[in-house]
Structure 1
Amino acid sequence: MAQVVQTLDDFGRPAWLVAMVLGFVLFWPIGLTILAYMLWSGRMNCGWHGGRGRWDNRFVERFGRAKDRVEGEMRNFARGAYSSGNKAFDDYRESTLKRLEEEEREFRSFLERLRQAKDKSEFDQFMSERRDRPAATEGSV
């Protein structure tokens, strides 16, 4: 039995899940027993035992390295450090990116002015409605 547990642990959580599903398919108490064991031993990593198993740690490390590599390449590309090998294209790309950044700044400032104008008109409308409504008399309650 210990050999089976060790083998499944070597393959990680997916192997345990496959064993559990097969247990349910073959004879439901076997699947239920495997599920209970997975929960009790912390192999499901859901609550009491916390932490991550070896399988998850390897995945997280690999995913983290790949993510860092892609983010680094994107930063280099955005900075213009990435070269396509064609000087004319690189110059065109750089000038286009600068033009787009400038257009974005202009558009954001336009939106800000638009929001301010809308806020001002709403406030002016509120103040005019407030001035125009009749004052409540002290005798009426």
Structure 2
Amino acid sequence: MNQNALIRPDWTPATIALMVLGFVVFWPLGLAMLAYILFGERLKSFKRDANASVDTVFSTFRGGFGGFGKTGFSRGTFRAGNTGNVAFDDWREAELARLDEERRRLDDMREDFDAYVRELRRAKDQDDFDRFMRERNNPSNGPVTGYTGN
């Protein structure tokens, strides 16, 4: 790091002046400047460590982000490439196909249930509407809404 920089994470006249000015203008700015003075050096190492961790995670996929195209996503599930063990790969493909079939079956059941609920709501709405029309057309039973006319 260039130690001759005017604003660096250290107690320099410029950083102290910016911190005081930040507190005068808007106290969170002064607090942010104080945090930069105290923890600025650690931010570089934190950023470097975070980037290294993310790079390690994504390097496990083949080719980084491009590996998603090679390994693929199917209906939101991750499909890894071949392991080299034919028996395991065959078993895994059979299990994934079974799970896909189960997901399709569950999706169909969900659609059927949603249609059933829609039909129940429609029927309830129809009953409510029919009751309203009966009460509206037959005023001898009294007011529908409880309105007294005052």
TM-score by structure 1 length?
A: 0.54
Deviating above 2 A after TM superposition, structure 1's stretches of 4 or more consecutive aligned residues are 36-39, 73-80, 136-141
Specify whether residues 102 and 135 from structure 1 end up closer, same or farther in structure 2 by C-alpha distance, changes over 3 A only: same
Q: Could you say which structure has the higher helix fraction? A: 1
Equivalent-residue separation in structure 2 for 1:110 and 1:129 (angstroms): 28
2: distance between equivalents of 1:86 and 1:64?
29
Q: CA RMSD in A?
A: 3.7
- Residue segments in structure 1 that go unaligned for 5+ positions in a row: 1-8, 10-35
> Share of identical aligned residues, percent?
18
SS of alignment partner, residue 136 of structure 2: coil
Within a 5 Å distance, the mapping from 1:1-141 to structure 2 comes to: 40=34, 42-43=36-37, 53-70=43-60, 72=61, 76=71, 78-83=78-83, 85-133=84-132, 134-135=135-136, 141=149
Q: Which has the higher contact order (CA 8 A, sep 6+)?
A: 1
For normalisation by structure 2, the TM-score amounts to 0.51
Query: How many matched pairs?
Result: 100
Distance between the aligned counterparts of 1:39 and 1:140, measured in 2?
68
Runs of 5+ consecutive residues of structure 2 not aligned to the other structure: 1-8, 10-29, 73-77
